[in-house]
């Protein structure tokens, strides 16, 4: 339990940094005069390197343990804001996004692998870990909004640095409490990700469902700030609207196991949460942009709050323990790819057809994955029996 508390604290701070950086990068790029497509490209650039590296990072975690990878990830987070603090430009904003997300994927995959082995109930463990992540996602946009409103973009950069240094300090302070390499890791057979994906149909469903959620969340984080700013909504209010999603996730995630018990079905919980994400991102802004955007954020938070820990539970239940890091790395790669595609595609769609149609189209991905989950209900609900 002590290790779970440590991992929850790290998850909270890691998520805070990323939750500051994504909307901050979008607003900063827009403030420098970038067009919507350019804003999307800057945000998406942050997800390319983690997308390519996530699977390899997962394999490194499986082989060498979580301790070293979490420490390296924390160090990268602390370095990320230095370029934009020294010389603000679209290039250094892109560097901020790239380094932050590379540090994030390293630390978070290692943390997730550790969580999978902490307590008996994975629903409980991942429920509390992702609750802590949601707290960070709540704090991040609020800190970003307050910092920019009171101190300009320099204040946003300072908020990013402060949160990142806090991650590094905690990671170094608790390093000995984190799991190191397994004694048998050096002799373990290489992990075949392709074989694990083919061996059980629930594994790709869990991964792609998570990608559907992140597709919606990427649109929410990157373009809600830009569209609302264009409608005259202040940065503090935008931060509050983004934080509502995290608040809703916080409200439901500690009770993931109870939701599954009450419904009697993992597939029902997972499918309904994916559907909620699709509807939440598709709600149009007009005629009441603040009220409707707040309602949409709440619904998206409820859906993502249950879908993300559920996807991790299903994934680790359907692959061997020694492959957890690798497959969690695949999941993170898909997540980053989904956010990157959402950032670029939505920028182009908003420029071409406007925000209402663009956000409606975004909701189709998680809604489609909800239909797949319900169609494979028997396979999804068979996970607990084979744990």
pLDDT the model gives residue 384: 44
- What's the token pair of residue 251? 């409200």
Residue 105: other Cβ atoms inside 10 A: 28
Within 13 Å and on the Cβ side, how many CA atoms surround 220?
35
CA dihedral angle for residue 150, residue 151, residue 155, residue 156, rounded to 10 degrees: 60
Look at the block and give the residue holding tokens 């991942």.
Answer: 126
* Pairwise CA distance, residues 45 & 38, whole Å: 10
Q: What are phi and psi of 122, to 5 degrees?
A: -70, -30
Q: What is the DSSP letter of 376?
A: T
Mapped onto helix, strand or coil, the DSSP state of residue 77 is helix
Report domain extents, the chain: 2-180+193-386
* Pairwise CA distance, residues 329 & 346, whole Å: 25
Contact 134, 15 (CB under 8 A): yes
CA angle 62, 66, 69 (to 5 degrees): 100
pLDDT the model gives residue 16: 93
Quote the strand ranges of 187-331, DSSP E. none
What's the predicted TM-score (pTM) here?
A: 0.75
Contact 155, 148 (CB under 8 A): yes
* Pairwise CA distance, residues 61 & 181, whole Å: 8
pLDDT the model gives residue 1: 67
pLDDT the model gives residue 385: 39
Look at the block and give the residue holding tokens 């704090």.
Answer: 139
Asked if the 2-180+193-386 domain carries CATH number 1.20.1250.20, the reply is yes
pLDDT in tens, 181-229: 655 554 555 566 777 777 788 899 999 999 999 999 888 877 878 788 8
HEC sequence for 24-48: HHHHHHHHCCCCHHHHHHHHHHHHH
pLDDT the model gives residue 386: 44
Q: Give Rg (Cα) of the chain.
A: 19
Contact 68, 178 (CB under 8 A): no
Mapped onto helix, strand or coil, the DSSP state of residue 210 is helix
Contact 266, 213 (CB under 8 A): no
Task: Spell out the per-residue pLDDT of the chain, length 387, in tens.
Answer: 677 888 899 999 999 998 898 888 888 888 888 887 788 788 777 777 777 888 888 888 887 778 888 889 999 998 998 888 888 888 899 899 899 989 998 998 888 888 877 666 778 888 888 889 888 878 888 888 889 888 998 888 899 999 999 999 988 887 777 766 655 554 555 566 777 777 788 899 999 999 999 999 888 877 878 788 888 888 888 888 888 888 898 899 888 889 988 998 999 999 999 999 999 998 877 677 788 889 999 999 999 999 999 999 898 888 877 778 888 888 888 887 887 787 778 878 888 888 788 888 889 999 999 999 999 988 888 754 344
pLDDT the model gives residue 280: 92
Look at the block and give the residue holding tokens 């909004």.
Answer: 145
Contact 129, 250 (CB under 8 A): no
Residue 77: other Cβ atoms inside 10 A: 32
């Amino acid at each position: 339990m002590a290790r779970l508390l440590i991992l929850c604290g790290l998850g909270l701070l890691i998520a805070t940094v990323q939750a500051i950086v994504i909307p901050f990068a979008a607003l900063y790029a827009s403030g420098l005069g970038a067009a919507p497509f350019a804003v999307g490209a800057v945000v998406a650039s942050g997800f390319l390197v983690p997308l390519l590296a996530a699977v390899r990072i997962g394999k490194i975690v499986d082989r060498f343990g979580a301790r070293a990878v979490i420490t390296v990830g924390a160090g990268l987070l602390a370095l990320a804001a230095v370029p934009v603090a020294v010389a603000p430009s679209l290039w250094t904003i892109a560097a901020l996004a790239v380094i932050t997300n590379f540090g994030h994927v390293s630390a978070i995959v290692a943390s997730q692998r550790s969580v999978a082995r902490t307590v008996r109930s994975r629903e409980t463990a991942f429920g509390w870990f992702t609750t802590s992540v949601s707290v960070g996602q709540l704090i991040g946009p609020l800190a970003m909004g307050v910092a920019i409103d009171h101190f300009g973009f320099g204040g946003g950069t300072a908020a990013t640095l402060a949160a990142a240094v806090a991650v590094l300090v905690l990671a170094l302070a608790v390093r000995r409490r984190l799991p190191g390499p397994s004694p048998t890791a050096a002799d373990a057979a290489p992990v075949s990700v392709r074989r694990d994906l083919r061996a059980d149909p629930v594994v790709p469903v869990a991964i792609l469902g998570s990608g559907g959620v992140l597709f919606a969340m990427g649109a929410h984080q990157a373009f809600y700030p830009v569209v609302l700013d264009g409608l005259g909504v202040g940065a503090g209010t935008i931060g509050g609207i983004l934080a509502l999603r995290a608040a809703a996730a916080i409200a439901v995630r500690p009770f993931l196991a109870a939701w599954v018990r009450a419904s009697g079905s993992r597939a029902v919980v997972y499918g309904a949460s994916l559907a909620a994400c699709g509807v939440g991102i598709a709600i149009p802004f007009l005629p009441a942009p603040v009220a409707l955007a707040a309602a949409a954020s709440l619904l998206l938070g409820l859906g993502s709050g249950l879908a993300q820990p559920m996807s991790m539970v299903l994934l680790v239940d359907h692959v061997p323990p020694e492959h957890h890091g690798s497959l969690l790395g695949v999941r993170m790669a898909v997540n980053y790819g989904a956010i990157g595609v959402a950032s670029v595609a939505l920028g182009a769609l908003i420029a071409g057809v406007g925000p209402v149609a663009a956000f409606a189209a975004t909701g189709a991905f998680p809604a489609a994955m909800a239909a797949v989950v319900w169609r494979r209900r028997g396979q999804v609900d068979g996970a607990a029996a084979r744990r």
